Amino acid sequence: MSSSEKPSSKGQAWFCTTGLPSDIVVEVDDMTFHLHKFPLMSKSRKLHELITQQEAEAVTHSAVPHEEDDEDE
């Protein structure tokens, strides 16, 4: 986190206040952290792998036709 980024909390949730929407939500016990994926991916190989895998699965699921689409043919 750079000096311009200051974390802020709202109840049990923490947000990075850069003005940009967060991409990742990490839950640890009863705390929720709204974070940006690129700094996490650049610092952690494990998080890079998890995020890349999750994004690949999301693309795969969105590319699979839904049953409703098959009924129209």
* Strand, helix or coil for residue 16: strand
Identify which of 72, 58, 63 has the alpha carbon closest to the alpha carbon of residue 23.
Answer: 58
Residue ranges in the chain modelled with pLDDT below 70: 1-20, 64-73
Q: Which H helix or E strand runs over 30?
A: none
Looking at residue 70, its pLDDT comes to 52
Looking at residue 16, its pLDDT comes to 62
Looking at residue 12, its pLDDT comes to 67
